[in-house]
Amino acid sequence: MSTIREAGAGASKVMPLPARAAANTPMPPEHGIARNPGMKLDLGFLESVRSVNRSALERRAATLTKRRSIKADNQAAWLLRAIACMDLTTLNSNDTDERVRRLCAKAINPLRKEIIEGLGITGETIRPAAVCVYHPFVATAVDALRGTGVHVAAVSTAFPHGLAPLSTRLQEIEASVKDGADEIDVVIPRGLVYGAKWRELFNEIVAMRAACGDAHLKVILGTGDLATLRNVMLASMVAMMAGADFIKTSTGKESVNATLPVGLAMVRAIRAYFEETGFLIGFKPAGGISTAKVALDWLVLMKEELGRPWLEPELFRFGASSLLTDIERQLEHHLTGHYSANHRHAMA
């Protein structure tokens, strides 16, 4: 039987890979990931995963961060992994082309030369996975990042609320793809979840996936607005059935953004979908992830719940703006024993 091997603490566990997935789902990073084609909306399957034990999820989330102690060189290595899984983001009302160019320059050179030399990684390419911007700045980012391997992601579909007519939202996706975006972060109308209008939500996401073409689709649930973990679980599953390549927690604009219990509910939905279909779906927490410590907590959650394959940028991303600065400061502390001032770490 083909398997995904999952490194555990002191031993390795094996997660069975369904036979239908073995032929079309290669493992990262050596190969690409087979895109999720979606499936018919299966309300019976939704019913089978609808039960969510909030207290159990909260207990599990609370213990996850205490089970592993990541120190010294190991911590530095995990923080470098966090950079590689980052969507470096600017989504402000005062964004300009020049600000986006500065952010792209930071993505190309995320660490100062003396940190790179001190860590002994000269010659290695460590960069964020993507730069995430509003549609008007997609062409600017594409031009600045051409040839670097850093993707350009565009937030779309009337971000952050998703309340424009569907035709308008689809046109925005198509415009961003035309300008060169290779990843599209879309938002769902949360009211469809409140009303349990799963067929309508499914159809909208299917249309968004079609509008994306070859660009990858990341579906933002706006979990802080969804009220219950049951809603989070069901919305996650509908998004994956409709063809999402990633599911994402938040826009970063809600009053409550990414939390570990919410993340746990979503990654368990990903696992259930994988067991049902054999397709690997990515996960992106966003909003409030601004320190290296919090980033490590999320990496531990992914490692413990889904295994090593989900520590690659093909399957895991942080939505982050200020996180990179704190990671730089932590890496400098690792090398020198001292924290440097924020102003020594250039950022857009």
Domain boundaries, the chain: 38-344
Convert the pLDDT of each residue in 127-184 to its tens digit: 999 999 999 999 999 999 999 999 999 999 999 999 999 999 999 999 999 999 999 9
State which amino acid sits at residue 217: L
Q: What is the mean pLDDT of residues 243-264?
A: 94
Q: If we measure between CA atoms, which residue out of 122, 153, 115 comes closest to residue 319?
A: 153
Annotate 229-268 with DSSP letters as a single string: HHHHHHHHHHHHHTT-SEEE---S-SSS---HHHHHHHHH
Return the higher-pLDDT residue of 53 and 193: 193
pTM of the model: 0.89
71 is catalytic: no
95 is catalytic: no
293 is catalytic: no
- Find how far residue 198's CA is from the centre of its chain: 23
Query: According to the model, what pLDDT value does residue 319 have?
Result: 92
From the candidates 106, 218, 248, 303, which is the catalytic residue?
248
Q: What is the mean pLDDT of residues 120-132?
A: 95
From the candidates 182, 225, 245, 284, which is the catalytic residue?
284
From the candidates 87, 179, 185, 326, which is the catalytic residue?
185
Hunting for tokens 């703006």 — which residue is that? 321
The Cβ of residue 77 has, within 10 Å, a number of other Cβ atoms equal to: 13
Instruction: List alpha helices for the chain, DSSP H.
Output: 19-22, 43-48, 54-67, 72-84, 97-108, 113-119, 138-145, 166-179, 190-194, 198-212, 229-241, 260-277, 292-305, 323-336
Convert the pLDDT of each residue in 198-211 to its tens digit: 999 999 999 999 99
Convert the pLDDT of each residue in 80-111 to its tens digit: 999 999 999 999 999 999 999 999 999 999 99
The yes or no reply on domain 38-344 and CATH 3.30.1330.10 is no
